[in-house]
Chain A
């Protein structure tokens, strides 16, 4: 390829803000024809936003996106698609009343209101595409009757039906078995060999290392490294973001907890299924009273599902016991009222209410005196919340919102506090503040904490014990100090 020929996809100075949060900052990269480019970053790093900006699903605040030399920044999605970009979404939402063949045909239709009869060639082309992605055997089935991997194939088929020169694929292997992953990888390589520019978006280098020519690693909206997969895996900043460098841990030995025989919380052989996807498989964990346990796992590993099952929000197989008594049959409200309180990933603050009102709401069941005492203690734990008392929760920064979420949960005087990804989308300096608050919480109270994180830096320092959840299973359990040596490489 000559130097003058433009790369298929060129991104320069791309920036996107959501309110006060800079989700993508000054991003720049090129993806050439016949190349697979990996865009990786932990949850909340902005990588999906980059993809949406390229596809026109979100409008960039600044910067340039060129497809074959044409500037498309700010264009509506359908125009960018027609220019030659295609996207494979992570979640498949096919038309359920139509067959697989009809779903593929949909993608072959022109954007015209006058087209009342399908082109006779459409059928033939749809069948050819189906054969290519391996759907020939199920053309007349409805999507609801198909296994998960086939649903992903429908998404790929739809994306390539438009013969895009730039193909964006969001988390290509999420939810697939290793055999399916191999088949999917082959398909992606074929698409590259057609001369397309392929952008893969994923959480870590490892999952895409075999495929990519180059990788760009992102963290809180910014580029932290770029190069070959090996180079990026060796990069110091990447290692620090993913593994936390040299973490000081302060684990207490398991034998130091009094409830050794019957732990405060016991999850036994827990399995959860979402339709066809196995979200959790025979997961067993336990948490002692007063213990701080971290469950580490990448996005989609099943952390949120585990916590929602404990909180009584999901049907499950297996058993969950609190102090020896099964929680099965208890409603989510009863479980929470009895002291198992979850701070969910989405934060769920009442954004139009003030900070103080959010806290008061959390303390509804306390007497006025207890409530005042609890609030005074929380203001010591999170001094910033005292200053922000009269401000609407929605106007707080992401970090402040997270502190408020934790504080509101603490107003309920929980016996077990479940924190689901409190670091989601937060800048490192904010993480430190929250980390310090958790440390004080651990030192000054007898609270039991179950923390779910993909950010290892944040999950390890306070933990007494760590579980690693991967593809719906617990694959490792141990002391935080042993994590980097035994599990580290899987997290790059």
Chain B
């Protein structure tokens, strides 16, 4: 029953991805650019949902992982100009290492302290970037000399298919036996332990996977933007937006996070005429979704399908 609906959801998602892959034929480069960013954002949010929705750990610092990936890739390209794929791989690896260093002590503390630890990690990374300006570009930001391609359409397709593959992996993982154990560990660690599951091992694995995809997406997005700055990759506000995207998309659904990310970016674009007020309106809408539809967009979609 579960596996049937898993396959069905994946097929529907694949059809949707194929459909939007034709967008470059009829849509302006500007909109493609927005969607490219939205797709990377979607990966950030999906990776976050694996930790929160399944392992039950609220990571307030998704940008610690994203920022580590983006800046590692960018700095490496600046200093030595190795092949871009190597920079991106290094970014993902750095995020994983950073994630392990953060998670090992953080998973020992319970409740809100895990979240607090991750929050402090973001502030430390931000401080490091600002202070070590000769390496990181400081507050002005880091310019990345190389690009993967200058074609809007190709950049769009890279982001789209990267998101699709990441989403498929994360979604399948969440529905696998490991995902089930992870959910049990998040919900009741004592009971999971008594059933013979090493809770710390599974949560650490979730953190590593989350860090890997966050770092990879961060590095790819940095090359797309040809720059990295605190405001786009590290700032607490960015982290909050990732969290909002995952929550309004539908907690514990992985794929919903993409809907949330596209919604957030589309809304802030549509509401741009409102000026400073636009962010306020977007956040207010997010608040309404969180309060009235705790299942998020994905919950609404699957519920109407089940009843229909």
Contact = CB atoms under 8 A, between A and B. Distances in A.
Interface in B1-20: 1-2
Contacts of B197: 78, 109, 111
Give the 4 A-B residue pairs with the shortest CB-CB distance, closest first.
Answer: A77-B193, A81-B196, A116-B176, A82-B196
B109 interface: no
Contacts of A82: 196
A162 B195 contact: yes
Interface SS, A side: loop
A113 B205 contact: yes
Interface in A98-155: 98-99, 102, 105-107, 109, 111, 113, 115-118, 140
Nearest to B209: A113
A78 B181 CA distance: 13
Contacts of B193: 56-57, 76-78, 81
Nearest to A57: B190
A98 B180 contact: yes
Contact of A106 (B1, B173, B180, B252): B180
A162 B1 contact: no
14 contacts: A57-B193, A57-B194, A89-B191, A89-B194, A95-B183, A95-B187, A98-B2, A98-B180, A102-B2, A102-B180, A106-B181, A109-B180, A115-B177, A115-B178
A77 B198 CA distance: 8
B177 A109 contact: yes
Contacts of B205: 113
Interface string B133-174: 000000000000000000000000000000000000000110
Contacts of B1: 99, 140
Interface size class of chain A, counting residues whose CB lies under 8 Å from the partner chain: 20 to 34
A89 B191 CA distance: 8
A291 to B, nearest CB: 43
B173 A116 contact: yes
Most chain A C-beta atoms within 10 Å of own C-beta, residue among B2, B190, B191, B196? B196
A57 B191 CA distance: 9
Contacts of B201: 111, 113
Contacts of B176: 115-118
A303 interface: no
Interface of A: 55-57, 76-78, 81-82, 86-87, 89, 93, 95, 97-99, 102, 105-107, 109, 111, 113, 115-118, 140, 158, 162
B79 to A, nearest CB: 35
Interface centre among B173, B181, B197 (most CB of A within 10 A): B197
B184 interface: yes
B188 interface: yes
Contact of A109 (B2, B181, B187, B190): B181
B199 A78 contact: yes
Contacts of B173: 116
Contacts of A118: 176-177
Contacts of B190: 57, 77
B55 to A, nearest CB: 13
Given A57-B194, A106-B181, 11 more contacts: A56-B193, A78-B198, A78-B199, A82-B196, A89-B194, A95-B184, A99-B2, A102-B2, A105-B177, A106-B195, A117-B177
Given A102-B2, A140-B1, A116 B172 contact: yes
Contact of B195 (A57, A98, A107, A140): A107
Contacts of A116: 172-173, 176-178
Nearest to B1: A140
A78 B195 CA distance: 7
B157 to A, nearest CB: 28
Given A56-B193, A57-B194, A93 B188 contact: yes
A95 B252 CA distance: 13
Contacts of A111: 181, 196-198, 201
Nearest to A122: B177
B194 A86 contact: yes
Interface centre among A102, A106, A158 (most CB of B within 10 A): A106
Nearest to B179: A116
Nearest to B180: A106
A140 B1 CA distance: 9
Contact of A113 (B2, B178, B192): B178
Given A102-B180, A116-B173, A116-B177, A93 B191 contact: yes
Contacts of B183: 95, 97-98
Contacts of B181: 106, 109, 111
Contacts of B172: 116
A97 B252 contact: yes
Contacts of A77: 190, 193-194
A106 B188 CA distance: 13
A91 to B, nearest CB: 10
Nearest to A107: B195
A376 B141 CA distance: 67
Max chain B CB contacts within 10 Å: which of A56, A57, A140?
A57
A393 B205 CA distance: 41
B200 to A, nearest CB: 9
Nearest to B190: A57
A365 B2 CA distance: 58
Contacts of A115: 176-178
Contacts of A86: 194
A113 B208 CA distance: 12
B177 A81 contact: no
B78 to A, nearest CB: 36
B87 to A, nearest CB: 28
B195 A81 contact: yes
Counting chain B CB atoms within 10 Å of each CB, the highest count among A98, A107, A111, A113 belongs to A113
Contacts of A93: 187-188, 191
A97 B303 CA distance: 13
B298 to A, nearest CB: 13
A101 to B, nearest CB: 8
A56 B197 CA distance: 13
Nearest to A99: B1
B191 A81 contact: no
A17 to B, nearest CB: 20
A181 to B, nearest CB: 23
B149 to A, nearest CB: 33
Contacts of B196: 78, 81-82, 111, 162
A109 B182 CA distance: 12
A115 B178 CA distance: 7
A127 B190 CA distance: 25
A51 to B, nearest CB: 10
A111 B177 CA distance: 10
- The residue in B172, B184, B188, B194 that gathers the most chain A C-beta atoms within 10 A of its C-beta is B194
Nearest to B208: A113
A287 to B, nearest CB: 39
Contacts of B194: 55, 57, 77-78, 81, 86-87, 89
Contacts of B252: 97
A158 B193 CA distance: 12
Interface in B58-88: none
Contacts of B187: 93, 95
